[in-house]
Structures are given as C-alpha cells and as structure tokens.
A and B are shown apart, each in its own frame.
Chain A
Amino acid sequence: MKHSRISLSLAAALFAATVSFQSLSAAHADTTLLNVSYDPTRELYKDYNAAFAAKWKADTGETLTIQTSHGGSGAQARSVIDGLDADVVTLALESDISAIAKATKKINPDWRTKYPHNSAPYTSTIVFLVRKGNPKGIKDWGDLIKDGVEVITPNPKTSGGARWNYLAAWAWANGQYGGDEAKIKDYIGNLFQHVPVLDSGARGSTTTFAQRELGDVLLAWENEAYLASDEFGADKFDIVVPPQSILAEPPVAVVDGNVDAKGTRKVAEAYLQYLYSAEGQTIAAKHFYRPSEPKLVSADLLKKLPELKLVTIDDPIFGGWAKAQPYHFGDGGTFDQIYKPKK
C-alpha cells in the first residue's frame, strides 16, 4: 500500500516536472522584455504592457511576455548598475538613468535625444492634496508655512518624488523673493519645520497622510493625488492645483548593452516608441500622467489635468539635473544645510 503510494507520487512528480519543463521551453521560444520602473507607475504599466503585448502579437505574431519591476527610482537604478538584466528603464529622474549610463556604459550617453520630448513620453507635476473642504485654506506655496499647517512630504534624500516637491517649492520661492538665495533657503527651511515626518518614499507619505491622518497637506505627484482620492474616497480629500509648479519629466531609455546581448533591441525600441502613440498617450492620461502629445488624447481625459505655470528642471534656476542633483541633494547640499542645527 505504502509502496504504491510512493510510486504514485513519484509518477505525479515526474509528470509535473515534464509539464513545467515543456511550458518553460515554450515560454523560451517567445520574447521576454524586462522594464525596470519606479513605484507610482505600477498601475500605468500594468495596462500599457497588456496593450503593447496585444499590438506586438497582432503585428508580428510573437507572443511577448513583459515583466515590470517597481521600486524606489534610485534603488532601481542601482539594481541595473549592479547587473539586473533590464531591456528598458522607465525611471523618475533623468539623473538615475544618467547614473546607469555613467557607471555601466550600457546606455548610450545621448539617450535623451533618442525619443521626442527629451525621452519623456509623459510628464507630471506636483500638486497639493488637502483634507475635504480645505479647512486650512491652502492655495499656494506660501500657505504651506502658515502657523499650524503641517506638511507631509517624503525625504528628498531617498525619494525621487520628494526631490520634485523640493524643487517646486524652490522655484516658487525663487519667483517670490526675486532670486535671493538666502531668502529662498529661509523659506525652504521654514517649510521643512512644518514637516513632522519624512517617509522614505512617496507611497509611505501618502499612507501617512491618508491613513494615519497626519498633516494638513500632502505634496504629491498629480497621479498619486488622484490615486489616493480614488483609493480612500473622494469625499475625504480635495486636490488643490497651485498657480505654479514644476514639470517632472520621468524619462525612458533602452539599455543598449543588455538588448544587444539578448537580441531584443527591436522589440524594446518599439515598446518605448509605442508610448508616444495615441493609445500609449491615452493610457498615460487615464492614469493621470500628462501626455506629451496632448492632441492625441481626447479632450475629456485632459479636463482633469488643468493648465498651470510649469517650471522645468532645465530652467536657469536649476540648470538641469546634472547641476541640481549635487547642489540640492548631494552630501552637504542645500537640503542638508537647512537641517544643520543653528549655532
């Protein structure tokens, strides 16, 4: 009895092994694409991958398996530097992709010119998420440092999103104080006095604000703000779009070294190119990213993304990421300075 049971389970195991081996070799015949992305794009790429795989199948007959890995933008860049076999990277910051290009030489240094709009198929901006009815009357960046206002933003040292928050505030102060750097730093220092918690990532801050009910205003990606109010109920929050904010251009790039080694260049390039198509742009807009080709998207979807004055990172205030990153967020940069205890 015992003997037969053992042989039975053995047979079952053998059978299972054969089946999984077959399915494995079947999968191998098709193409697999790895997209290494950052945290808030989870929902966006879930939809986009399905759309692109369907299109690729229709065009070429190949079954395409797309895997997407999400995490903090900097941590994701480090994984690729340390050898993660990404075909494409779609990260939060230009400086993260540049870091890969510099450290591994696997990405062509002129990657930013490969696709339209500085290789940023969609953009986003920083808005305010406030409690329903906006009880503290927060309308603009200056309101954030009013007495009794608590501001929730993640740590710019560990979160890509938080760097955009920081720079958006900086850009506003720059206009307000006519470029007087001492006064700008005063404002930023004052602003961070109003921050009770520095979470390590954007999602962490959203949780702190929405679930822990801490703070009066959350500085958030536009798409995160919409996502939070969808998730936790639109009756709990209002989205306030300030008159001025920053234009965040999350860039994309093909990892040339990896796609050439794997022979996936054609599909990887098509994957990124398709982000600029009407369908790709519509999917981005549905997830509250601002399409870089708005004319391809129905006006209905664009209504939720109102016009405002947007400062870019290439503005002379910042002079591009290569300059802004070390100046503001490097060791001893402006962010470190505002936390230095006053002597």
Chain B
Amino acid sequence: MTLGFTLAYLTLIVLIPLTGLVWRSASLGWGGMWHVATDARTLNALKISFGTSLIAALINVVFGVIVAWVLVRYRFPGRRIIDAIVDLPFALPTAVAGIALTALYSKNGWIGRWLDPLGIKVAFTPVGITIALIFIGLPFVVRTVQPVMEEIRKEVEEAAATLGATRFQTISRVLLPGLTPAILTGFALAFARAVGEYGSVIFIAGNLPYISEIAPLLIVIRLEEFDYTGATAIAAIMLLISFTMLFVINLIQAWSRRRYGYAT
C-alpha cells in the first residue's frame, strides 16, 4: 500500500515530467543530440555551470561543517539568531539574493570598491557565479550535517583524548568518519541545487558567451528562439551529468557507511 503510494507519487511528481523532457529531446535523434552536446558554446556553458557548482559545493562543505560544529558545540549569545540566519538563503527569492550580491560586489559596491583597486573582479565573472552559488548552497550542508553532529556526544571526544589521541586524530579518526555520509549528502544537495540555479546567478554572471554563460541561460536562450527541442536537449544533457554524479556520490556514501559501520 505505502509502496504503491510512494511509486505513484514519485511517478506523478518526478518521473512523468522527466520522461516528457527526454521524450521531447529524443526527437532530435542521437546525431542532433551529439551535435548539441559537442557544440563549443554548450560545452563551455556546461563547464562553467558544473565547475562553479563543484567549487561552491566544496567550499560549502568546509565552511558549512565548521558553522554546524560551532552551532552544535558552542553556547554563545545570539546563537539561536545565527542558527535561524543559516536558513535565509532557503527563504529569500533567489533573484533578490542575486541583485543584493551584485550590488555588493560590483565596482561601486560595498565590497567591490575595495577589491577593484587590487585588480580583483568578482561581479560579472565566474568568481561572482561561485559566490552566488555558495550563498544559496550553504544551508544544505549545515542542515544535513547539524542533526548528525548533535547525536555525537561530547564523551566520545573525551574518551578519545583520554586514550591519547591528539586533537587532529580525534577529528580525523573519530568525528569525521561518522559525519562523512551526512557531509556527502549535504555536498550532493548543495551541488545539485547549484547546477540548476538560474535566478541569482543571472544577475551577477555577466552572461558573456564562452566566459560567464551558464547552461541554464543557454536553455532560456534556446526557448527565446522558440527552439524547444534544443532547450530540452541541453536540459537532458545536464540531467544525465547530474544523475551520474549524484549516483556516484550515493555509491561513495554507501561505501563509507559500510566502511564505518556505526554511522546511522
């Protein structure tokens, strides 16, 4: 009963739209699909989309884990407020985030005006794209890692210390293995979200072909040309890459669960 419900629901919400997507792009045939996929402009856009998303997700993993750790382990005034602030990128319309970040990092913005004399350009470059993606991806890492961290009791650390482990050993051999599956999930979520992001990136990217043009923009461009098939072809390619990467992450996760049996 519940299995049937789950399958029916997933089919309705996820599978049917995706099948429609693949169906529509299939009318191009393999040759046409290959042509779209190997077009220099598409390749560049895909490289930029997946590259910036990957860097953003990696940065989010490092700092997201630190933020989560501080929120879980330390008690300080204003902690609850900071805890709530972490969720803001979820709630804020992404266009608002994009406009705000562009205002900050452009040549005359609060941050940009200090970076510009140093020759560092953030807005309207791939660096700007990465910053927008870090912004929208942070809560995914914090919110997946945080509950797992809360399960690790302080006694575990103390036990490690009394057994002679250095601080580094405690982190790398006691704490991190248990957190790895959660960190991987957080990474996967932040990455997947970043790949599909359009609203915030479009304002800060600059959108120059071959330099700062993201794949979702290329899809919008195809739609502007009333070229639905071309748009769905790029979408299908993105879907394929994303699915492969998420699948690999899932495999690593399963492996790390087996390797460090006590997690979950």
Interface residues of A (CB under 8 A from B): 72, 74-75, 78, 81, 99, 103, 155, 157-158, 195-200, 204, 211-214, 329-331, 336, 339-341
Contacts and interface: CB of A to CB of B under 8 A. Distances in A.
Interface string B202-219: 110011111000000100
B41 A336 contact: yes
Interface in B189-227: 202-203, 206-210, 217, 220-227
B108 interface: yes
B241 interface: no
B208 A213 contact: no
A198 B210 contact: no
Interface string B19-60: 000000000000000000000110000000000000000000
Contacts of A196: 124, 206
Contacts of A198: 206-209
Given A198-B208, A204-B203, A341 B225 contact: no
Contacts of A340: 40
A81 B226 CA distance: 10
Contact of B226 (A103, A158, A214, A336): A103
B103 A211 contact: yes
B209 A74 contact: no
Given A157-B224, A157-B225, A213 B108 contact: yes
24 contacts: A74-B224, A155-B207, A155-B221, A157-B221, A158-B220, A196-B124, A197-B124, A197-B208, A200-B207, A200-B217, A212-B103, A212-B106, A212-B108, A212-B109, A213-B108, A214-B107, A329-B225, A330-B225, A331-B225, A331-B227, A336-B209, A339-B41, A340-B40, A341-B40
B223 A212 contact: no
B139 interface: no
Say what secondary structure dominates the interface of chain A.
loop
Given A74-B226, A200-B217, 7 more contacts: A155-B207, A196-B124, A197-B207, A212-B109, A213-B107, A331-B227, A339-B41
Nearest to B230: A331
B232 interface: no
A198 B124 CA distance: 9
Contacts of A212: 102-103, 106-109, 123
Nearest to B99: A207
B205 to A, nearest CB: 9
B225 to A, nearest CB: 6
Interface string B223-248: 11111001000000000000000000
B74 to A, nearest CB: 39
Contacts of B107: 212-214
A339 B227 CA distance: 20
B103 A199 contact: no
Contacts of A336: 41, 209
Contacts of A330: 225
Nearest to A338: B209
B207 A99 contact: no
Chain A CB within 10 Å — which of B108, B208, B226 has the most? B226
A198 B204 CA distance: 10
B224 A158 contact: yes
A99 B225 CA distance: 10
Nearest to A211: B103
Contacts of B226: 74, 78, 81, 99, 103
Contacts of A72: 224
